[in-house]
Chain A
Amino acid sequence: MASVALTHLDPASRAAARGWSDLTIRNLFIIPTLVFLIVFNIFPLIYSLGYSFTNFAANRSEPWQFVGLQNYRELLSDDHIWSNFVITAKYVIVSVAGQMIVGFGLALLLNRSFPMKGLITTLLLLPMMMSAAVVGLFWQLLYSPSWGPINYVFGLGDFAWLSNPDSALYAVAITDIWMWSPFVMLLSLAGLSAVPQHLYEAAAIDRASWWYTFTRITLPLVSPILLIALIFRTMEAFKTFDIAYTMTTQPTAELIAIRLYKQAFQQWDTGKSCALAYIVLIMVLAITNLYVKYLNKVKER
């Protein structure tokens, strides 16, 4: 019924009375979105691609020159930038893996009926609804070696999570896990509740073990939606800026997005930062593509 209503204009409707056709209405809805997309997304994207081949600097009035691939060459041979990429990779692996494990684990625990399930689920979702800057500032206080509750609870004395060059990155990753595990949990919960109950019943009749049921029924049926969560979280983790920026200034925790921000808006090296943004974009696209290929394979099964 619903699809019929969408493809054919009801002759008795007010739109039809004004002489609007299906096409007019379709355009009315699509064109603003398209214009918005082109003006704010596609145009800057192409424009910045052009800038990435120049030595343009937004804070200087001198004319810029076309420098070819020089920006890309310089960036890819810069040790600092590579160390930023290594830091980002470590961060993505730790925080995304953590979120998947904690998030999926929570979903398994919640996927049954118990009293106050709704309330508990809602409370667990709260971290994800907070502003990242607020989360960063609060965790900075939680980690504080002088009065932070984390060191007090775990008896770590005055261990300086964020000032220690070796632990700063992981401290930020833990915060990210805390904030975004609920997202993975929410998606997993949706996937888990969609698994047909009769499969479990059949397995129970066959006296299948818990592990066998989990690996042969639960995991395969939930994996497409888990992969979607993985794609989203990887992309997001790759471009993390806010949490890390508010929490620490350790060079050992300087993610690629922070380097990019410094290059673009503190040093105003616009051309070079456009090039760096493109390198990051290509990397994210490549990783996402791998996932999507795998996702399609999983779906075919």
Chain B
Amino acid sequence: MRKIVTSVIAGIGLALACGTSVRAQDKELTIFWAEWDPANYLQELVNDYTAETGVKVTVQTTPWPDFQTKAFTEFNAHGDAYDMVVGDSQWLGAGSTQGHYVDLTDFFNQHKLGDVMAPATIKYYAEYPGGSGKYWAIPLEGDAIGWSYRKDWFEDPKEKEAFKAKYGYDLDIPKTYAQLRDIAEFFHRPDQKRYGVAIYTDNSYDAMAMGVESAIFSYGGDLGDYATYKVDGITNSKEAAAGLDMYKELYKYTPPGWGKTFFVEDNQAITGGLAAMSMNFFAFFPPLVNKATNPFADATGFFANPAGPDGKRFAALGGQGISIVSYSKNKDEAMKFLEWFIKDETQKKWAELGGYTCSQAVLKSEAFQNATPYNKAFYDTMFMVKDFWATPEYAEVLDQLNQNIYPFVVGGKGTAQEALDKTAADWKATFTKYNRYK
């Protein structure tokens, strides 16, 4: 018996010893991201790096709803499972102030990334606190809210005529939210199983917040003053309430059961021939131009988020920057990888594979803008983006917003003003709790 035990232990020990020695020889880097197409494109891209340097790079993924939870569980445990993480822009506050991310300011200045990447992407994906000149991430995947629509429905002469007779102007891509609403109402025909518009309503993470804030920003509202944490009179301004009211108005014209929807459902609204227009992040548009995944691929068009009543035009920012995890054991190797990643050729290849590069040179090139039907809309959008709070306590702030606006938008309880008044009060209490008003 003792012999068996000894040999088993010896075997385990040997296996462990071999395991570690193998790891030490072949360098390996692990990048953590959410499970979606861009992560597959990134894996394809980094295979080139492996071919060049022999360093194996793996992109590990997890479904979106778990992404934040899983990443922060690892950070909080100071775990070294991931060397780099492609984190949401809202994570910058927690990542930087809690020491989860490596400070990349020197790297940033050395490579003059301020001139290489699009300004909005640096402001929201890399810098924290805003305007401090401290950088924690390299913009990797640019993204924002945009719209897809059914070109064939919009261009049908009969529909055009009927629309003009009813609303007094031509049926075309909506320039304002008011027009978007009219078009949604016009195409909303439940008896024909056709509906006006598909929007985000999932409140388990930031989906609905992204949809709502796009409307609020375009109506001239704001979520608060991100520098001073002032929320009273900003979060619950008349403009913000008008934006939220418009979102609630759009919910009327969604397909039935549209109460827990995010990118999958919004794309299904187009591929299933359900809706005339559908909101989504640009990163989810590639399947819509692919005939294998969208039977209406030829008839699907794209447009940038419309303006509010005063001509202000914004879109919620998605997208992520890549950061080095400070608990990683391969920080130097990760730094070398980033140096390769920011090269112009790499960025160009990244865009070709389907990634949304943030490199200004690539974005401005004709080749990029004409590469897909939605790249032009993406280019336009990337210069009018605004983001959610990025403070370390953003998860709490997001949950409070969800709790207050979801019952209004989906449940039809109360008014927009009440929902935002309650949000402002909750946020003020939260920011007070974290000593943000000094």
Contact (A61, B259) CB under 8 Å given A158-B190, A249-B204, A269-B396:
no
B residues 242-272 near A (Cβ < 8 Å) are 255-260, 272
Classify chain A: how many residues form its interface, as a range: 20 to 34
Whether A195 sits at the interface, judged by CB under 8 Å, is: no
Task: Please give, as numbers and ranges, the residues of chain B lying within 8 Å of A163 by CB-CB distance.
Answer: 201, 256-260, 410
Contact of A158 among B256, B272, B393, B406 (CB under 8 A): B256
Contact of A60 among B1, B69, B73, B98 (CB under 8 A): B98
A158 touching B257, Cβ below 8 Å:
yes
Whether A146 sits at the interface, judged by CB under 8 Å, is: yes
A268 touching B411, Cβ below 8 Å:
no
Task: Please give, as numbers and ranges, the residues of chain A lying within 8 Å of B413 by CB-CB distance.
Answer: 165
CA distance A251 to B402 in the complex (A): 9
Whether A265 sits at the interface, judged by CB under 8 Å, is: yes
Contact of B72 among A59, A159, A251 (CB under 8 A): A59
Whether A144 sits at the interface, judged by CB under 8 Å, is: yes
**Interface of chain A, main secondary structure:** loop
Whether A162 sits at the interface, judged by CB under 8 Å, is: yes
Residues of A within 8 A of B (CB): 18, 58-61, 80, 143-146, 158-165, 168, 245, 248-252, 262, 265-269
CB distance from A15 to the nearest CB of B (A): 10
B residues 142-164 near A (Cβ < 8 Å) are none
Contact of B411 among A145, A251, A262, A269 (CB under 8 A): A251
A165 touching B396, Cβ below 8 Å:
no
Task: Please give, as numbers and ranges, the residues of chain A lying within 8 Å of B72 by CB-CB distance.
Answer: 59, 265, 268
Beyond the given A160-B257, A249-B260, please list 19 additional residue pairs across the A-B interface where CB-CB is below 8 A.
A18-B1, A59-B392, A145-B256, A146-B193, A146-B257, A160-B256, A160-B259, A162-B260, A163-B201, A163-B256, A163-B259, A249-B202, A249-B204, A249-B406, A251-B411, A265-B72, A266-B395, A267-B399, A268-B395
B410 touching A165, Cβ below 8 Å:
yes
Whether B357 sits at the interface, judged by CB under 8 Å, is: no
Contact (A250, B259) CB under 8 Å given A59-B76, A60-B392, A165-B407:
yes
The 10 closest A-B pairs by CB, nearest first: A163-B259, A160-B257, A158-B256, A145-B256, A145-B257, A165-B411, A267-B396, A58-B76, A163-B257, A249-B260
Kindly report which residue of chain B lies nearest to residue A252, judged by CB atoms: B411
B residues 41-55 near A (Cβ < 8 Å) are none
Kindly report which residue of chain A lies nearest to residue B406, judged by CB atoms: A251
B256 touching A146, Cβ below 8 Å:
yes
Contact with A along B389-404 (1 / 0, CB 8 A): 0001101100100010
CA distance A228 to B76 in the complex (A): 40
Task: Please give, as numbers and ranges, the residues of chain A lying within 8 Å of B272 by CB-CB distance.
Answer: 146
B259 touching A80, Cβ below 8 Å:
no
Contact of B407 among A58, A143, A161, A251 (CB under 8 A): A251
Contact with A along B60-100 (1 / 0, CB 8 A): 00000000110011011000000000000000001000110
CA distance A165 to B201 in the complex (A): 13
Kindly report which residue of chain B lies nearest to residue A140, judged by CB atoms: B260
CA distance A96 to B327 in the complex (A): 47
A267 touching B395, Cβ below 8 Å:
yes
**Residue among A61, A162, A267 having the largest count of chain B Cβ atoms under 10 Å:** A267
